[in-house]
Structure 1
Amino acid sequence: MDFWFDPLCPFAWITSRWITEVAGKAPVTVRWHAMSLALLNSGKDMPEARRTMLDLYWGPVRVLAAARAAHGDAVTGPLYTAMGSRFHAPGGIFEPVRTAPAEEFRAAMIEGLGRTRPDIEAALAETGLPAGLIDAMDDDRWDDELRASHARVPSDGLGQELIGVPTISVDGGAGQFGPVLTEIPRGERAVRLWEAFRTLAGDPAFFELKQSTGRTEPLTH
């Protein structure tokens, strides 16, 4: 399977940890690809605070693009894990966001997103990658690499409409947005969910499944 993610998205993180759990228990090979929420939302009209927030999403995913270009596909998964385990862990940059009052949510997000650099530097060190890759955070030359990564999502010959992350392609089939999970399934539960998802994703008649209720707070650890 191919898995597209933005390292800052908590729901993509949850789904990725589910897939990592599955890969340890079932014959699943995962190829990891960066997808930029900032790029997906570029050019859209939105409130200034949301635009400021999304502009801060560029940094980590540009570092992933630069690392892949210099060191190959194999570094993407480990670097994502090293970043995400810091961003989404207890005490990570999103911890204050979860407890912020609704009216302070975006301000808390902007403050947290502005503190990603030390975590990215630590992730590069953990994975043995050059510290100089941190400079890609502010270098928009890597945005074309991200556009190319988006373009690699299979569309089965139909018009590609990327919705968000996670996006998953099973056995080369059309990319599917989701599944969006609110906690990380473990053990046999993880495998059962994978078998159900693979069955749906592999059926040519399947297009979309979405719940009509509101989304609960993501449990990322």
Structure 2
Amino acid sequence: MSNANTPVTLYFDATCPFAWVTSRWIKEVEAVRDVDVTFAPMSLAVLNEDKDIPADYASKMTAAWGPALVAAAVYTREPEKVDALYTALGTRIHDQGQGGRVGDGAYDDLIAEALDEAGLSADYAAAAHSRGDDAEAWEPTLRSYHATALAKVGDDVGTPVVELEGRAFFGPVLTRVPRGEDAGKIFDAAVTLGGYDHFYELKKTRSEDPSAV
């Protein structure tokens, strides 16, 4: 099956382990299929702000604002650098086991390291604390990108949201990263399913946690 120049947009929250595994699958797909990939921010903090969630998870959502706000700022000004930023952040948070942090500013050190690794200005780090609705805040922009993702799939979803050739869905939720041609075959199947107007859901109970390594 040929997928020449297939447009792919992956909406992610850098703190989400499921989005991380799916994103690494998409990076594998880049090597075996002709795709044009865009990484765009959405927010677990926004997704969960009106939900009755445990206190410890709520503290994790407070921490999640920082990486998402920085991603929104970079996506707005230098969208071509979001891939590198996400890779640098995600590697630290997930592969190196530095995630699961709680409280405001919990990821500030990782954000600074990731910006440097991605060749981005350290000034972007200030976006991590730019909450509110004033002209200097990035929160309204992040909410706008998040709303764009949900408008494509509805609000009964999480992260990631993946859009293939203009058709979007939640997931695919993977717990391990398919490699090489296996990644390509799963991508082909996702394009086929996503391209059918009446396809909505394919799901089973998960029995393991996600891991990209």
Shorter-chain TM-score above 0.5: yes
1:13-49 deviation digits (Å, cap 9, x = unpaired):
1110101100111011111110100011112222322
Say if 2:176 is the partner of 1:167: no
Distance 2:69 2:54 in 1: 24
Q: Taking structure 1 as the reference length, what is the TM-score of the superposition?
A: 0.84
Distance 1:181 1:4 in 2: 15
**Which residues of structure 2 form unaligned runs of 5+?**
1-7, 132-136
> Which of 187, 191, 196 does residue 198 from structure 1 map onto?
191
**Which residues of structure 1 form unaligned runs of 5+?**
95-108
Percent identity, aligned pairs only, is 39
Aligned to 1:88, the other structure's residue is in SS state helix
Say if 2:128 is the partner of 1:137: yes
1:133-169 deviation digits (Å, cap 9, x = unpaired):
111111112121112112333857xx83251111011
Distance 1:152 1:145 in 2: 11
1:67-106 to 2 correspondence within 5 Å? Answer: 67-69=74-76, 71-90=77-96, 92-94=97-99
Q: In the alignment, is the contact (CA less than 8 A) between 2:63 and 2:106 conserved in 1?
A: no
1:70-108 deviation digits (Å, cap 9, x = unpaired):
x33212111111111111123x314xxxxxxxxxxxxxx
Aligned to 2:36, the other structure's residue is in SS state coil
CA separation of 1:78 and 1:120: change in aligned 2, threshold 3 A: same
> Which of 20, 31, 34 does residue 24 from structure 1 map onto?
31
Q: Corresponding residue for 1:150?
A: 146
CA separation of 1:114 and 1:153: change in aligned 2, threshold 3 A: closer
Question: Could you say which structure has the higher strand fraction?
Answer: 2
1:157-186 deviation digits (Å, cap 9, x = unpaired):
xx832511110111112x200010011110
Which amino acid is the alignment partner of residue 76 of structure 1? V
Aligned to 1:85, the other structure's residue is in SS state helix
Q: CA RMSD in A?
A: 2.1
Distance 1:180 1:165 in 2: 9
| Deviation larger for 49-58 or 114-123 | 114-123
CA separation of 1:65 and 1:111: change in aligned 2, threshold 3 A: closer
Distance 1:63 1:13 in 2: 17
Q: In the alignment, is the contact (CA less than 8 A) between 1:32 and 1:76 conserved in 2?
A: yes
How many residues were matched structurally?
A: 201
Aligned to 1:33, the other structure's residue is in SS state strand
Q: Taking structure 2 as the reference length, what is the TM-score of the superposition?
A: 0.87
Distance 2:105 2:178 in 1: 30
